[in-house]
């Protein structure tokens, strides 16, 4: 490895993956492959953490398809309060949880979501991203993705906890992240080392979950075409939009 930190090397990989003409999860996989190449030890730590979360079925009890999506009132990257109930008065909402602006996979996911905004809006829906970071760093994620949607701050992970998406990183993963240049405490304004499982919910105007994707392996996300299809099903009046839930590695 060069004199650059692990985090700095992954920034370069993230930019290369961003430019790929490929589905989102193929771009994410290219980053995961580079992590394995650069540091098999770090990749092994990730694998053990994911296995722990899968064994504990973390996220399994998050709102299911057909269940109400709990309301939220969260500040956006400018500090303005945003309420889910108010957003739903305008149309369906795609709610996407991110770990933070520092996460290569979240950056690519936010970038991908930004690319489908025109199609989502054409269907009468909108996107909101949620992360546990303070609004300053939410603004950095939004700027990176050039996103035309708000990035909301779930400070201290209160909303993620309500949705049963919250987990503790663990001592081993925390040590590996800090050694690699990923000290998330300043970004979150606390030293809890708690993160949400990246998850995506498509919520209908009636406040019910129409589709969802939850995966303890943060290296995978809901494919963009699936999000568009779920919103399109609502636009067409089909209330049986697809549901995705992954709890095992592929």
For position 5, what pLDDT does the model report? 85
Residue indicated by tokens 């057909």: 66
Residue 142 confidence class, pLDDT cut points 50, 70, 90: very high
For position 238, what pLDDT does the model report? 52
For 41, the token pair is 């030890």
Res 249 pLDDT > 90: no
Nearest by Cα to 203 from 49, 94, 102: 94
Q: What is the mean pLDDT of residues 195-206?
A: 97
Within 8 A by CB and 6+ apart from 76, the residues are: 82, 135, 138, 150, 151, 152, 153
Within 8 A by CB and 6+ apart from 223, the residues are: 23, 24, 25
Residue 94 confidence class, pLDDT cut points 50, 70, 90: very high
Res 237 pLDDT > 80: no
Alpha helix (H) residue ranges in 123-168: 135-145, 158-162
Q: pTM for the full model?
A: 0.92
For position 236, what pLDDT does the model report? 76
Alpha helix (H) residue ranges in the chain: 6-18, 24-38, 40-55, 84-88, 104-122, 135-145, 158-162, 171-179, 185-188, 224-235
């Amino acid at each position: 490895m060069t004199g650059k930190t692990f985090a700095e090397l992954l920034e370069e990989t993230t930019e290369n993956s961003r430019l790929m003409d490929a589905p989102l999860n193929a771009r994410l996989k290219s980053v995961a492959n580079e992590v394995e190449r650069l540091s098999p030890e770090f990749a092994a730590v990730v694998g053990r953490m994911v296995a722990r979360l899968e064994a504990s079925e973390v996220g399994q009890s998050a709102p299911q398809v057909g269940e109400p999506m709990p309301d939220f009132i969260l500040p956006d990257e400018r500090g303005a309060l945003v309420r889910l109930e108010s957003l739903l008065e305008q149309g369906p909402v795609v709610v996407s949880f991110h770990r933070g602006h520092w996460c290569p996979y979240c950056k690519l996911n936010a970038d991908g979501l930004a690319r489908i905004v025109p199609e989502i809006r054409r269907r009468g829906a909108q996107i909101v991203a949620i992360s546990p970071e303070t609004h300053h760093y939410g603004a950095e994620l939004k700027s990176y993705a050039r996103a035309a949607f708000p990035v909301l701050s779930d400070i201290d992970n209160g909303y993620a906890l309500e949705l049963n998406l919250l987990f503790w990183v663990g001592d081993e993963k925390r040590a590996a992240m800090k050694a690699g240049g990923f000290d998330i405490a300043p970004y979150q304004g606390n030293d809890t080392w708690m993160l949400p499982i990246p998850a995506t919910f498509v919520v209908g105007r009636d406040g019910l979950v129409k589709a969802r994707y939850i995966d303890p392996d943060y290296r995978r996300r809901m494919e963009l075409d699936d999000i568009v299809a779920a919103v399109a099903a609502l636009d067409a009046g089909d209330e049986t939009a697809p549901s995705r839930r992954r709890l095992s590695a592929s």
